[in-house]
């Protein structure tokens, strides 16, 4: 049976409301994990609650957990029944997590020298990188001997995760006009590429070594014609309820959709370029939400 888990949380925002972040440090059986996330517009209190939510989401149901926070608002609401006039959406999420765990709440004085509370503050303010289960950053797909290995995610809870990836295929304006007008000899380029992207996302673990097979809840691939820059813009969204992220599925969908566009049009345009394949954003999971564009 797993030992007691301690979670140290902190959150805050600039201007209140304004840009903000949250951080959580999880200690269990001598190991430490660190989580953090940012939001473009939020409040101090929302980030304090979010830090507790994200920390508890990283623990299995039935766990014995103590949450340490310097937020009287958070701790007293959970222990003394302070009124919940605002942030009801977050309180509902927190209550659901607490209902499936044995959770104690401990108020700690902020900036009083407690190392884990200070670390949570650094994570929340963005002053420190996230480091999971180690004192030094490392590649997750390498074991202690530096050998390639599949990451063990068995200890993680299943959460809803979503990723959005983008990329584009640049081409001659005449080629773009052929696609728009359905004049490509091989058929409907956009429809075929869309299906190819969805199929590729479902086969990601067969294509990428050490990638976990995921039960995909949704894969959506969009292809838009950009007349100004003469390119097909591809956006893929992948969603799962699983123990690990779905970024690779979204990126694979974009890549294969782009390759399909290239394959169907290469007879008329050998100069096409597949460019800008990247992650746009991800949500869910222990590392928190990441918005890159």
Which ranges constitute the DSSP H helices of 32-136?
Answer: 44-57, 72-80, 88-99, 115-125
Q: Which of 118-122, 190-194, 235-239, 286-290 has the lowest mean pLDDT?
A: 286-290
Answer for the pair 265, 178: CB distance below 8 angstroms, yes or no: yes
293 pLDDT band, cuts 50/70/90, is: confident
Strand order in the sheet with 102-107: 31-42, 18-28, 5-13, 64-69, 102-107
Give tens-digit pLDDT for 116-139. Answer: 888 998 899 876 554 444 444 445
pLDDT tier for residue 187 given thresholds of 50, 70 and 90: confident
pTM exceeding the 0.75 threshold for the entire prediction: no
**Res 90 pLDDT > 90:** yes
Identify whether the C-beta of residue 153 lies closer than 8 Å to the C-beta of residue 244: yes
The one catalytic residue in 92, 206, 224, 263 is: 263
Quick one: DSSP state of residue 1? -
SS3 184: coil
263/204 Cα distance (integer angstroms):
20
Average pLDDT over the chain, rounded to an integer? 87
> Is 217 marked active-site?
no
pLDDT (average), residues 200-225: 92
Q: Per-residue pLDDT tens for 135-164?
A: 444 455 545 555 665 666 555 567 889 999
How high is the pLDDT of residue 134?
41
Please check the confidence at residue 64 and state whether its pLDDT lies above 90: yes
Least confident of 152-156, 174-178, 204-208: 152-156
Phi, psi of 237 (to 5 degrees): -120, 130
Q: How many CA atoms lie within 13 A of 145 on its CB side?
A: 3
Q: For residue 109, what pLDDT is reported?
A: 87
């Amino acid at each position: 049976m797993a030992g007691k888990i301690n979670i140290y949380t902190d959150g805050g925002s600039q201007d209140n409301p304004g840009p903000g972040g949250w951080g959580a440090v999880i200690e269990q059986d001598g190991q430490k994990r660190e989580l953090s996330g940012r939001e473009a517009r939020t409040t101090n209190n929302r980030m304090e609650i979010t830090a507790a939510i994200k920390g508890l989401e990283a623990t299995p149901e039935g766990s014995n957990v103590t949450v340490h926070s310097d937020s009287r608002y958070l701790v007293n609401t959970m222990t003394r029944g302070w009124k919940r006039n605002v942030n009801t959406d977050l309180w509902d999420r927190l209550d659901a997590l607490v209902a499936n765990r044995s959770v104690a709440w401990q108020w700690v004085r902020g900036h009083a020298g407690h190392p884990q509370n200070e670390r949570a503050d650094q994570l929340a303010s963005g002053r420190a990188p996230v480091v999971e289960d180690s004192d030094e950053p490392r590649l997750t797909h390498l074991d202690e001997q530096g050998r390639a290995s599949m990451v063990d995610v068995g200890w993680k809870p299943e959460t809803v995760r979503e990723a959005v990836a983008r990329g584009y295929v640049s081409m001659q304006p005449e080629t773009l006009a052929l696609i728009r007008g359905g004049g490509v000899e091989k058929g409907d380029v956009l429809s075929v590429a869309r299906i190819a992207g969805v199929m590729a996302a479902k086969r990601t673990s067969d294509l990428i070594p050490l990638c976990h097979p995921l039960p995909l809840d949704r894969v959506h691939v969009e292809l838009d014609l950009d007349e100004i820059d003469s390119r097909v813009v591809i956006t893929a969204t992948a969603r799962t309820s699983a123990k690990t992220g779905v970024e690779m599925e979204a990126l694979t969908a974009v890549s294969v959709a782009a390759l399909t566009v290239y394959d169907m049009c290469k007879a008329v345009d050998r100069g096409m370029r597949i460019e800008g394949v990247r992650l746009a954003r991800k949500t869910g999971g222990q590392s928190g939400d990441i918005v890159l564009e």
